[in-house]
Amino acid sequence: MKVDSFLDIAKQRVNDQRKNELQKEKAANDFEEIFARHLVKEMTKNSFKMSDSNGLMGSSGNLYREHVTDALASELASQRKLGMADLVTQYWNQRSGSSNSNTQIQDHSNE
């Protein structure tokens, strides 16, 4: 076998690992944004009562509330201030660390 084929395999493995890491990071950030959206929605549920829902301001008040809620949640999630993304990432790192150590133990037992 040529050395080039080994290099191609190694590059592909690194690319796959990096892609997996980026997907996990995105999922952790998305989870934090969902959590932040629920948190902000609950915190502001009584703050945007401009009128009853039958009035003209009722529907626009709900639209304004959704916009503000989304903006605040996105900002909180991008700053990772709530720590949910960090907890998810830490959990995945622990899980992958334990599966890697199990794989290494199995590899050494086969020798």
Name the region of 83 (left: φ>0; alpha: ψ -120 to 50; beta: rest): left
Domain containing 26 equals: 3-109
Total domains in the chain come to 1
pLDDT digits (tens, 9 = 90+) for 73-91: 888 888 888 888 888 888 8
The pair of structure tokens assigned to 95 is 């899980």
pLDDT digits (tens, 9 = 90+) for 93-107: 888 776 654 444 444
Prediction pTM value:
0.62
